[in-house]
Amino acid sequence: MPTSDGMAGRLEEPERAGLLGGSRDPHDRRAPRVTLSGRGWRILAEAVRREALEGALDGREAERLSGLLRKPLNATGA
């Protein structure tokens, strides 16, 4: 299991790239909560769409999945 320092190191690059955001857990201020940023969600949705287009899903399924991945993005206005 990675140490907290090890995990923090692994998250620095995606955070600098604007893919991640975060906050502190309100119940345990030592514990960070890491979330995908709006940019992170968009990149994930595009990656899933591309993979789906390579045959794992048909076109309708790929669009449905892409829409579901955009849902949190739309809810936050990111």
Q: Where are the domains of the chain?
A: 1-36, 37-78
CA 65 – CA 62 distance, rounded (Å): 5
Q: What is the pTM of this model?
A: 0.54
Range 59-70 average pLDDT? 81
**Between residues 49 and 53, which one has the greater pLDDT?**
49
Average pLDDT over the chain, rounded to whole? 79
Residue 17, number of CB atoms within 10 A of its CB: 12
> Residue 47: what pLDDT?
84
Terminal Cα-to-Cα distance of the chain (whole angstroms): 33
Distance set, CA 2 to CA 25, 30, 32, 73 (Å): 19, 16, 15, 29
